[in-house]
């Protein structure tokens, strides 16, 4: 008796709770401070309960990062579909979706491109998810290259460059977040603020040179 709705032995949704809370804690305090025991405490379970769902802290992180890549993949794919049939429009739309994903999901994005996991190959799901994200961009550029016989550059090379441009915009925007003291006029980071307000302008500028190859 005395055990009404209190403390059911099984949490019911621990795995999901851990992932959700982990993202939140990382957003609030950084990856370094993430603690499995704290997560357990927050979920109301014993300190080592998380180990029934993740063999180690790194595996928890790997699962989170995998989720991030899947979300990115979805965002980009959706943007491509919504962009109609013009290949260049598709490219711009995908690029913009990429940057927007980073802006709306900074924690995921930082995790995905951080070095917390120096090697994806240990985690098959992650590896696949990451390659899939890249694959969307690559396939779009293969279509584009096929439609333009004159190009002197391969689709894979092109996608590396495009990805660089887009990734550069996205990461710098996150980098500048919370770092600019705005010393006065002429200060370094005002350009980044402009870029943050209108990423499409920057993206078009960068893609222009690439697409005129």
Partner DNA sequence: CACTAATGTTAACGATGTCAACATTGCGTG
Partner DNA sequence: CACGCAATGTTGACATCGTTAACATTAGTG
125 burial class (0-12, 13-18, 19+ CB within 10 angstroms)?
Answer: middle
Q: List the structure tokens of 80.
A: 């491509």
Cite the beta strand spans of 61-208 per DSSP E.
none
Q: Summarize as ranges the residues that interact with DNA (CB under 7 A).
A: 7-12, 14, 34-38, 40, 45-49, 51-53, 55-58
Closest CB 199 distance from its own copies, rounded Å: 10
Find the helix packing angle between 87-104 and 155-176, rounded to 10°.
30
Q: Which residues bind its own copies (CB under 8 A)?
A: 30-32, 110, 113-116, 118-121, 127, 130-131, 134-135, 138, 153-161, 163-169, 171-172, 175, 178-179, 181, 183, 186-192, 194-195, 202, 205-213
Residue 76 site contact among DNA, its own copies, none (CB < 5 to 8 Å, cut-off depends on kind): none
What tokens appear for 213 in the block?
């190859």
Q: Which is nearer to DNA, 34 or 92 (CB)?
A: 34
What are the tokens at 75?
Answer: 């965002």
Shortest gap between Cβ of 171 and its own copies (angstroms)? 6
82 binds, among its own copies, DNA, none (CB under 5 to 8 A by kind): none
Q: Which does 84 bind (CB under 5 to 8 A by kind): its own copies, DNA, none?
A: none
Close Cβ partners of 83 (under 8 Å, ≥ 6 residues apart): 89, 90, 92, 93, 94
Return the residue matching tokens 């099984």: 10
CB closer to its own copies, 103 vs 190: 190
| Residue whose CB is less far from its own copies, 29 or 82 | 29
Measured CA to CA, the distance from residue 46 to residue 196 in angstroms comes to 43
Q: Which among DNA, its own copies, none contacts residue 207 (Cβ within 5 to 8 A by kind)?
A: its own copies
The nearer residue to DNA, 16 or 187, going by C-beta atoms, is: 16
Spatial contact of 188 and 182, defined as CB atoms under 8 Å apart: no
For the bound state, the minimum distance from the C-beta of residue 27 to its own copies, rounded and expressed in Å, comes to 10
Which ranges in 105-186 belong to alpha helices (H)?
Answer: 106-112, 124-147, 155-176
Binding-site partner at residue 154 among DNA, its own copies, none, CB < 5 to 8 Å by type: its own copies
């Amino acid at each position: 008796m005395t055990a009404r709705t209190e403390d059911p032995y099984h949490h019911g949704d621990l795995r999901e709770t851990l992932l959700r809370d982990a993202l939140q804690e990382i957003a609030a305090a950084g990856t370094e401070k993430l603690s499995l025991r704290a997560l357990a405490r927050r979920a109301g379970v014993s300190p080592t309960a998380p180990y029934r769902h993740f063999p180690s802290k790194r595996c928890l992180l790997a699962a989170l990062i995998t989720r991030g890549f899947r979300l990115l993949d979805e965002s980009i794919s959706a943007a491509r579909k919504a962009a109609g049939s013009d290949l260049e429009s598709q490219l711009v739309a995908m690029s913009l979706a990429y940057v927007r994903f980073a802006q709306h999901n900074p924690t995921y994005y930082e995790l995905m491109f951080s070095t917390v996991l120096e090697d994806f190959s240990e985690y098959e799901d992650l590896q696949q998810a990451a390659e899939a994200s890249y694959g969307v961009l690559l396939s779009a550029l293969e279509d584009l290259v096929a439609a333009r016989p004159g190009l002197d550059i391969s689709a894979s090379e092109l996608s590396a460059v495009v990805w660089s441009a887009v990734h550069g915009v996205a990461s710098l925007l996150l980098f500048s977040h919370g770092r600019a003291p705005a010393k006065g006029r002429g200060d370094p980071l005002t350009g980044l603020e402009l870029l943050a307000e209108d990423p499409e302008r920057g993206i078009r500028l960068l893609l222009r040179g690439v697409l005129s190859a």
